[in-house]
Amino acid sequence: MNLRTFLLGTCSAVALSGLAQAETLTIATVNNGDMIRMQKLTDDFTSKNPDIQLEWVTLEENVLRQRVTTDIATKGGQYDIMTIGTYEVPIWAKQGWLLPLDNLGAEYDVDDLLPAIRSGLTIDGKLYAAPFYGESSMVMYRKDLFEKAGLTMPDAPTWDFIADAARKITDKNNEIYGICLRGKAGWGENMAFLTATANAFGARWFDENWKPQFDQPEWKNALDFYVKLMNDAGPPGASSNGFNENLSLFQTGKCGMWIDATVAASFVTNPKESTVADKVGFALAPDTGLGKRGNWLWAWNLAIPAGSQKVAAAEKFIAWATGKDYLKLVADKEGWANVPPGTRTSLYANAEYQKAAPFAKMTLDSINAADPKNPAVKPVPYVGVQFVAIPEFQGLGTAVGQQFSAALAGQMSVDDALASAQQLTEREMTKAGYIK
Amino acid sequence: MARNVSTQRKIVVTVVAWTIGILIFFPILWTFLTSFKTEAEAIASPPSLFFFDWTTENYHEVQSRSNYFLHFMNSVVVSFGSTLIGLIIAIPSAWAMAFSPTKRTKDVLMWMLSTKMMPSVGVLVPMYLLFRNTGLLDTRTGLVIVLTLINLPIIIWMLYTYFKEIPGEILEAARMDGASLTKEIIYVLTPMAIPGIASTLLLNIILAWNEAFWTLNLSAAKAAPLTAFIASYSSPEGLFYAKLSAASTMAIAPILILGWFSQKQLVRGLTFGAVK
């Protein structure tokens, strides 16, 4: 081998290794159906961007939350893109842990994002995360049981109507319960539902000076109403029911109504999984006439951690995954019913989508009815409809949730549960420096 | 003197043993059966035990969604690696404590065990920072180190109790014959303690295989073992029992088979010294 061949060989080897050294993005994501679909469709992205490779870390929600929180708080740098909820975005953005998404490209059309969702992700006028899919909560009900009981569900029911209907439908001998609601303790379980419901009853977590409000009559009304309703018309053992437990109860025909995440609509109307698929109707989450509905607002979003070395590539990916073309891609490959809902206005104007997803209008109305910056009837110092966007809320929400779950199980009275919620919240908020 | 055991008594004992065995094995059997059901059948009430439409759909889904082989290899490297390194450190230390105890040996043993009593999450952030600064995050080496450290107290304790059963005079005899320290440990002590070492090895492989806190928190994409593979199949929103069961069956199958073939060693080792 002469010197020239050797040099040529070396040069081509170097060039090839340069080509092979494509930038790799590590993406941490939650294992919901829409995210898994995205993972399967990434060939479309990598064929358009051959210099970027993707590595996925798909985890269950609670594991993911712990994992990415540890990494971002210690600036571990394991991930180039993180999937985070609307709860984390305002807290992390204020900490300076996220990069603002300023360069998503001209085609991205930020103004097409649903205003309610966008407002929860915008801090000081800057967008810190791009929504991948959004959800609210609504009433799902059995049309056949309503008909049998001679009831008609209005599009926007009140809590009084819901309670009355639930008691009429209940037929405990045949294992049919008028209403299934979350009771399992946890800030993302029963407290998501109860905090949103309390908003409709005029209650709030804190007043303008961060003083806890569990000693106020509004909370007592809300919790009393919930516990009595569940005792009369709920399934047995409701204090250990979360989303999945209620989903299986509803799918096996045991619930007259279920108030929960809008994403459930596609599960309960899926004939492969649900025995009542063709009998389900939808309505807005109930109110009490005070001007707020008990519907929450949640979105899973893609964000870039501060200090990331691969910002340009990460922005390209986020623009692809949350852009308009992605919705079309999913529709082409898997049908309009499988398009990630709740992020873009244009999707709800699409006639094909409206035809494929009977719950589309109700989802849009529910999302639009939620206002994360003004969640309660009275003014509040925090952001968030079914949560309070402060770092202490995960712990507080779960501790209060345990009291309320115990009240539902009959282990303590509603008054005792509220008193101990008030006491523990006051103590924690004082310790954290909110109450001077 | 052999005791006469009545047939009736034999039957009772056999039935009781089988009942307990089946009760303990039932969750694994249930997971296995559920992995062949559809999601709708997995939550059906009342559930069906054997009479359902068997489907391998969940296994296909799991195969297409995750890189099982990568996670499997990571689990093998991490659990075997950490156990072997643990044994190399533990055999000499257990030897020292069993045959040349000092006044403080018991305290040292208790102190080592006390590290197991600390909740792991309490040191998550310092550990994470150490791993970040040394570039060990998401590496097999990092996981091997942390699992070695975590299981070391248990390995030392188990070996210590086995070594205590071995008469010190045999080792003395070896020394009289001019065996060096290394030779004494390798050629005299180790062969006699084989059942104990084997069961310690197996038990620690199982512990390391199942360890979920550190392996989940210190790995991301490259070094994630089967615990991370399982964690991607449960879900707070949506049906997942059938797919999770398929993933769990795939994750525990290798260690179950290993345990099956080596159960003699395991039982012998665990009861070693129990009957004198």
CB contact under 8 A, A31 and B233: yes
User: Are the beta carbons of A336 and A356 closer than 8 angstroms?
Assistant: yes
Chain B residues within 8 A of A34 when measuring between CB atoms: none
State whether A291 and A301 are in the same domain: no
A2 in a domain, yes or no?
Answer: no
Q: Mapping DSSP to helix (H, G, I), strand (E, B) and coil, where does residue B218 land?
A: coil
- Residue A113 is classified by DSSP as B
Which token pair is B93? 């230390």
Cα(A382)–Cα(A373) distance, rounded to whole angstroms?
Answer: 7
CB contact under 8 A, A63 and B236: no
Interface of B with A in 141-200 (CB under 8 A): none
Which of B128, B231, B238 is facing A70, going by the closest CB pair?
B128
Which token pair is B158? 């188990």
What mean pLDDT, rounded, does chain B reach? 87
pLDDT value for A71: 92
Cα(A139)–Cα(A170) distance, rounded to whole angstroms?
Answer: 17
Angle at A137 between CA A305 and CA A319, to 5 degrees: 30
Contacts 24+ apart (CB under 8 A), A212-217: A212/A421, A212/A422, A212/A425, A212/A426, A212/A429, A214/A400, A214/A418, A214/A419, A214/A421, A214/A422, A214/A425, A215/A418, A215/A419, A215/A422
One DSSP character per residue, B77-96 reads HHHHHHHHHHHHHHHHHHHH
User: Are the beta carbons of B143 and B78 closer than 8 angstroms?
Assistant: yes
- Rounded to the nearest 5 percent, the helix, strand and coil shares of chain A are 50, 15, 35
A370 in a domain, yes or no?
Answer: no
User: Are the beta carbons of A64 and A302 closer than 8 angstroms?
Assistant: no
Domain span holding position A259: 137-295+385-431
pLDDT value for A357: 82
Interface of chain A toward chain B, CB-CB under 8 angstroms: 26, 28, 31-33, 36, 39-40, 55-63, 66-67, 70-71, 73-79, 188-189, 242-244, 247-248, 251-252, 261, 263-264, 267, 272-274
A332 in a domain, yes or no?
Answer: yes
Nearest CA in chain B to A62: B236
pLDDT value for B273: 52
State whether A145 and A274 are in the same domain: yes
pLDDT value for A45: 94
Sequence-ordered alpha helix ranges (H) in chain B = 7-34, 39-42, 57-65, 68-99, 105-114, 124-133, 140-165, 168-176, 181-183, 190-192, 194-210, 213-217, 226-231, 241-261, 263-270
Cα(B90)–Cα(B96) distance, rounded to whole angstroms?
Answer: 10
State whether A71 and A144 are in the same domain: no
Least Cα distance to B71 among B224, B266, B249 occurs for B224
Q: What is the mean pLDDT of each run of 10 residues along chain A (436 residues)?
A: 56 49 88 86 93 91 88 91 94 94 89 91 93 92 95 94 95 94 91 95 95 96 96 93 89 93 85 88 92 89 92 94 94 88 91 86 87 91 92 92 95 96 95 90
State whether A118 and A261 are in the same domain: no
**AA identity, residue B96:** A
Q: Give the pLDDT confidence of B183-200 residue by residue, as tens digits.
A: 888 888 888 888 888 888
Burial class (CB in 10 A: 0-12, 13-18, 19+), A67: buried
Q: What are phi and psi of A212, to 5 degrees?
A: -60, 145
Least Cα distance to B224 among B234, B212, B236 occurs for B212
Report the run of H or E that residue A55 belongs to, with start and end. strand A52-59
Nearest CA in chain B to A73: B125
The CATH number for A107's domain is: 3.40.190.10
Which token pair is B182? 């290394």
CATH number 3.40.50.300 is the correct assignment for the domain at B66-232: no
**AA identity, residue A1:** M
> Is B20 within 8 Å of chain A by CB?
no
Cα distances (Å, whole numbers) of residue B221 to A59, A74, A179, B251: 11, 18, 42, 17
pLDDT value for A7: 56
Radius of gyration of chain A (CA): 24
Helices B241-261/B194-210 angle, 10° precision: 170
A36 in a domain, yes or no?
Answer: yes
State whether A406 and A347 are in the same domain: no
CB contact under 8 A, A267 and B235: no
Mean pLDDT lowest among A4-18, A250-264, B34-48, B248-262: A4-18
Least Cα distance to A197 among A177, A168, A227, A167 occurs for A227
Angle at B77 between CA B72 and CA B81, to 5 degrees: 150
Nearest CA in chain A to B213: A63
State whether A122 and A230 are in the same domain: no
State whether A285 and A317 are in the same domain: no
Residue finishing a domain among A339, A356, A373: A356
A376 in a domain, yes or no?
Answer: no
Cα(A302)–Cα(A46) distance, rounded to whole angstroms?
Answer: 18
Residues in chain A: 436
How many Cβ atoms are within 10 Å of A323's Cβ, its own excluded?
Answer: 19
CB contact under 8 A, B220 and A78: yes
State whether A226 and A131 are in the same domain: no
Report the run of H or E that residue A345 belongs to, with start and end. helix A345-349
Nearest CA in chain B to A268: B238
Per the structure, the count of domains in chain A is 2
Which of B40, B138, B220 is facing A273, going by the closest CB pair?
B40
A339 in a domain, yes or no?
Answer: yes
User: Are the beta carbons of A65 and A73 closer than 8 angstroms?
Assistant: no
Q: How many helices (H) and strands (E) does chain A have?
A: 19, 10
**B147/chain A closest Cα distance in angstroms:** 18
pLDDT value for A9: 57
Angle at A86 between CA A84 and CA A88, to 5 degrees: 60
A371 in a domain, yes or no?
Answer: no
State whether A260 and A399 are in the same domain: yes
CB contact under 8 A, A261 and B237: yes
State whether A261 and A404 are in the same domain: yes
Contacts of B37 (CB under 8 A, 6+ apart): B52, B55, B58, B242, B245
Which of A189, A263, A273 is facing B39, going by the closest CB pair?
A273
Angle at A353 between CA A340 and CA A188, to 5 degrees: 35
State whether A37 and A60 are in the same domain: yes
pLDDT value for B274: 46
Cα(A267)–Cα(A277) distance, rounded to whole angstroms?
Answer: 9
State whether A230 and A286 are in the same domain: yes
> Is B221 within 8 Å of chain A by CB?
yes
Which of A39, A79, A188 is facing B220, going by the closest CB pair?
A79
Determine the distance from the C-alpha atom of residue B211 to the mean position of all C-alpha atoms in its chain, rounded to a whole number. 8
pLDDT value for A285: 93
A329 in a domain, yes or no?
Answer: yes
Provide the sign of the torsion angle of the four alpha carbons B230, B234, B240, B242, taken in this order. Answer: positive
Least Cα distance to B190 among B87, B105, B110 occurs for B87
Nearest CA in chain B to A252: B44
pLDDT value for A405: 95
Question: Can you give the pTM of this predicted structure?
Answer: 0.83
